[in-house]
Amino acid sequence: MDSTRGELSDRRSLASASGSRYAKSVISLILILFLSIPIGCSNEKKHSLPETNSIATYRDIPGVTAEEISTIEALKSTRPAFSYGSLLSTEAFILPDGAYAGFTFLFCELLSDLFGIPFVPKIYDWDKLKNGFDEHKLDFTGDLTITPERTQQYYMTSPIAEHHLVVFIKEGNVKLESENDLNGLKVGFYAGAITEQFTHSIYPHLLFESVDIGATHEAAEKLMSGEIDAFVLDAAYMFPFYE
């Protein structure tokens, strides 16, 4: 299958589905951690920012309060671990020996060390990830793009990653040379994702039929059968199409 890279970018946030003040405290501290660690390099020393290796636990994060520490410790006492749902991607994948690898699993190791409780990652298809998250069966995920609407439903950090979106087509079926070639096509999007909304906001002049897709294998099957002409998704999740 061929892919055509668009001009859209997808800004992912770390999110918690829980509405509890405990989850809010965890998210708030993670956000503070991101803001506290310098990104990039400069000849000018930034005295106001701590050295990365000075933060051994969440208690060392600048600005943490006694109330936040108390609520987080209370939450930790109620469970053995936090669950972290992820999609199969270039950031979360499985090696031939069955071991998990990628940024997501390194990130979970960092959070586990930081909070002194395991953040256990597990890979899901989109429908199971989104449903599990909304049903509070999963505690955290880094696979949701931050939007004003979602911040009303979930606790979310500021963006922690930015990805491009790509368009997949069946080779020889249609030809895409610009976004205008999507006009009149049947275009698949993950159901419940904001990708379709995002696409329309950037290209409001496009007119195409949207088709809900529940999982990657479903998208591939519908592309091959001709039920959809194209499928739009985050570039980090496109490698299963090359298997």
Q: Are residues 85 and 174 in the same domain?
A: no
Of 145, 163, 181, the domain-final residue:
163
Position 183, amino acid: N
- Give the end of a domain, one of 131, 163, 195: 163
67 and 153, same domain (yes or no): yes
CATH code of the domain covering residue 78: 3.40.190
pLDDT of residue 3: 39
Same domain (yes/no): 183, 157: no
SS3 33: helix
Domain count for the chain:
2
Task: Reduce the DSSP state of residue 170 to 3 states and report it.
Answer: coil
Whether residues 122 and 181 fall in one domain: no
* pLDDT value of position 157: 80
Residues β-bridged to residue 2: 169
Structure-model confidence comparison of residues 123 and 52, the more confident one = 123
Instruction: Judge whether residue 14 has pLDDT over 50.
Output: yes
CATH of the domain at 219: 3.40.190.10
- Average pLDDT over all residues of the chain: 80
Domain span holding position 187: 2-8+164-242
Whether residue 169 sits in one domain with residue 114:
no
The answer to whether residues 116 and 17 belong to one domain is yes
Measured CA to CA, the distance from residue 180 to residue 124 in angstroms comes to 33
Q: What is the dihedral of CA 141, 145, 150, 155, to 10 degrees?
A: 40
Same domain flag for 142 and 110: yes
Residues 47 and 152 in one domain: yes
pLDDT tens per residue across span 93-114:
889 998 889 989 999 999 999 9
Q: How far apart are CA 220 and CA 243, in angstroms?
A: 11
Residues 201, 207, 211: CA angle, nearest 5 degrees: 85
pLDDT digits (tens, 9 = 90+) for 164-202: 788 888 888 888 888 899 999 999 998 888 888 888 888
Q: Token pair for residue 240?
A: 């299963």
Pair (73, 112) in one structural domain: yes
> Does one domain contain both 91 and 122?
yes
Mark whether 52 and 93 lie in a shared domain: yes
Pairing, β 155-169 against β 230-234: antiparallel
